[in-house]
C-alpha cells in the first residue's frame, strides 16, 4: 500500500467514524400534540397509535414499557399494541399509563409467519393450526391479526377464510428494512435515523393486491416491529429502531368512541382503521365516509386523493377535500392519499352503492 493510499484509507475511516454516531445522536424532534384533541364532525375520536411493539418481555428486546410510553407521548400517540414473543413471554405494565393506552398482546408463530393476539393478557397456547389459534385468541377476548403478511400462508383467500382472523398487517417496517439492507446500512451510518428510515417507507403493492382478494373486509394495520435493538454499527451503537424514531414513521389510526382500551379494540375489530406513513407528513385525522351517492375524502394537507373500488383506482383529484363517486356495480371501495407521488394514507373498505359512474363531484 502506497503512502497516498494509506492516507486516503485513514482519511475515509476518520470521516466514517466522525459521522458514525449520527444514528445514535439525540436529534431534536418536536413533540406532537395528541391526535385526538377534539371529536370529528361525525362523532368519532381519531386515535393515532402503533402496532407490533416488543419490550424486554420478548427475548430479543431490551426496551421497557416506560420507554415505550415516553416515546408514544412524544410522538402524539394515544395507544400502543404490544406483541411480545413467547420467550420469556412476560407482559410489562399495561392499561392507561400517563395518557397512553397500552394494549397487551403476543406475537405467535403461525402459517409460515405470525399471528398477533392483541388485547389478551393471558399467553395463548402454541398451536400449529391457525384455525385453532385464532379461535383461542377470540375465546380470550382478543383480536387476531396476520403478521408479516408478505410471507404468511394466510394470504391465500381460502386459508384466510378458514382461519377467520380479524385483520392484516399490510406493511412491516422491519421487512422493508431487510429488503433494503445495504442501502440502509450506509444511510444508517451517515444520516440521522429518522432520515435513513424515511427512504424505506412504502406500503407494498403486492400486499395490497393480496389483501384485496381476501374475503370480507379485514382490518388494516401497520407494523413498526420495534425492538429498540437493531444496531447499524454492532457494538458501537447506532440503534435504528428506537421507539422515539419509528413511532413517528408508521401509524395505525382508529375511529373510536373514547380512549378506553375496549373502545380501541372494538374499532380495530370493526375495521374502523387507516394506515398513515407519517414519516412523509404528519396525519392528525383523515376522513373517508359516505356522502350521499359519493364518498367524501378529506386529508390534513394537499394530496392526490384517490378512490379505489374492487382493487381498481376509479377516480382521483389533487386537493385537500373531494367527493368521488364509485362506478355502477362497485361492491366495496377504499381511499388513498398520495404525498409527493408517494402513498401516504390507506384506508380500509367501505360498502359501495351503485352510482352514476366514476366522477369527481366536487373538490377543493
Q: Do 204 and 306 sit in the same domain of this protein?
A: no
19 in any annotated domain: no
Helix (H) / strand (E) containing 182: helix 181-190
Are 276 and 191 in the same domain? yes
* 158 and 226 housed in the same domain: yes
A 10 A CB-CB count for 320 gives 15
The answer on 306 and 231 residing in a single domain is no
* Tens place of pLDDT per residue across the chain (364 aa): 454 444 433 333 333 333 334 444 444 455 555 544 457 877 899 999 999 999 999 999 999 999 999 999 999 999 999 999 989 988 999 999 999 999 999 999 999 999 999 999 999 988 889 999 999 999 999 999 999 999 999 999 999 999 999 999 999 988 887 765 545 444 444 456 666 677 778 999 999 999 999 999 999 999 999 987 554 444 444 456 789 989 999 999 999 999 999 999 999 999 999 999 999 999 999 999 998 999 999 999 999 999 999 999 999 999 999 999 999 999 999 999 999 999 999 999 999 875 444 444 444 4
For residue 199, the model assigns a pLDDT of 72
Cβ(272)–Cβ(217) below 8 Å: no
The total domain count for the chain is 2
CATH number, domain of 204, equals 3.20.20.140
Q: Check if the beta carbon of residue 204 is closer than 8 Å to that of residue 223.
A: no
The three three-digit cell numbers of residue 277, written as one number: 406513513
CA distance 310 to 10: 58
Under 8 Å CB-to-CB from 164, ≥6 apart: which residues?
131, 134
CA 50 to chain centroid = 6
Same structural domain, 198 and 263: yes
Among 267, 284, 301, the domain boundary falls at 284
Question: Which of 284, 301, 327 is the last residue before a domain boundary?
Answer: 284
Q: Report the alpha-carbon distance of residue 98 to residue 188 in Å, rounded.
A: 32
Domain of 325, in residue numbers: 286-364
The b-or-e profile of 111-134 (16+ CB within 10 A means b, else e) is bebbbbbbbbeebbeebeebeebb
Task: Give 130's contacts (C-beta < 8 A, 6+ positions apart).
Answer: 110, 111, 115, 153, 154, 159, 163, 165
247 and 304 co-located in one domain: no
Q: Check residue 12 and give its pLDDT.
A: 38
Q: Is there a domain that residue 36 lies in?
A: yes
Do 270 and 302 reside in the same domain of the chain? no
Q: Is 235 helix (H, G, I), strand (E, B) or coil?
A: helix
Q: Say what the pLDDT of residue 41 is.
A: 76
319 and 194 belong to one structural domain = no
Amino acid at each position: 500500500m502506497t503512502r497516498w493510499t494509506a492516507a486516503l484509507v485513514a482519511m475515509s475511516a476518520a470521516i466514517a467514524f466522525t459521522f458514525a454516531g449520527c444514528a445514535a445522536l439525540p436529534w431534536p424532534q418536536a413533540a406532537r400534540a395528541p391526535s385526538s384533541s377534539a371529536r370529528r364532525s361525525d362523532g368519532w375520536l381519531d386515535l393515532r397509535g402503533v402496532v407490533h411493539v416488543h419490550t424486554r418481555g420478548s427475548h430479543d428486546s431490551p426496551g421497557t414499557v416506560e420507554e415505550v410510553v415516553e416515546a408514544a407521548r412524544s410522538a402524539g400517540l394515544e395507544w400502543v399494541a404490544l406483541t411480545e414473543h413467547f420467550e420469556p413471554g412476560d407482559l410489562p405494565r399495561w392499561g392507561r399509563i400517563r395518557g397512553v393506552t397500552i394494549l397487551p398482546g403476543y406475537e405467535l408463530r403461525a402459517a409460515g409467519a405470525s399471528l398477533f393476539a392483541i388485547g389478551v393478557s393471558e399467553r395463548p397456547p402454541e398451536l400449529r393450526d391457525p384455525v385453532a389459534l385464532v379461535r383461542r385468541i377470540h375465546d380470550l377476548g382478543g383480536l387476531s391479526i396476520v403478521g408479516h403478511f408478505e410471507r404468511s400462508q394466510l394470504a391465500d383467500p381460502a386459508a384466510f377464510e378458514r382461519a377467520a382472523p380479524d385483520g392484516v398487517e399490510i406493511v412491516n417496517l422491519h421487512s422493508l428494512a431487510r429488503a433494503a439492507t445495504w442501502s440502509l446500512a450506509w444511510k444508517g451510518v451517515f444520516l440521522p435515523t429518522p432520515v435513513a428510515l424515511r427512504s424505506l417507507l412504502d406500503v407494498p403493492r403486492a400486499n395490497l393486491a393480496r389483501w384485496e382478494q381476501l374475503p370480507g373486509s379485514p382490518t388494516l394495520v401497520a407494523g413498526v416491529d420495534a425492538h429498540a435493538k437493531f444496531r447499524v454499527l454492532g457494538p458501537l451503537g447506532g440503534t435504528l429502531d428506537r421507539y422515539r424514531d419509528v413511532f413517528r414513521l408508521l401509524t395505525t389510526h382508529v375511529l373510536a368512541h373514547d380512549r378506553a382500551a375496549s373502545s380501541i379494540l372494538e374499532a380495530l375489530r370493526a375495521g374502523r382503521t387507516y394506515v398513515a406513513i407519517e414519516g412523509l407528513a404528519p396525519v392528525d385525522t383523515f376522513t373517508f365516509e359516505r356522502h350521499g351517492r359519493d364518498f367524501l375524502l378529506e386529508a390534513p394537507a394537499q394530496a392526490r386523493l384517490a378512490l379505489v373500488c374492487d382493487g381498481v383506482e376509479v377516480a382521483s383529484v389533487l386537493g385537500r377535500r373531494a367527493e368521488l363517486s364509485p362506478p355502477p356495480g362497485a361492491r366495496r371501495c377504499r381511499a388513498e392519499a398520495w404525498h409527493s407521488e408517494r402513498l401516504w394514507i390507506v384506508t380500509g373498505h367501505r360498502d359501495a352503492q351503485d352510482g352514476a359512474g366514476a366522477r369527481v363531484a366536487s373538490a377543493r
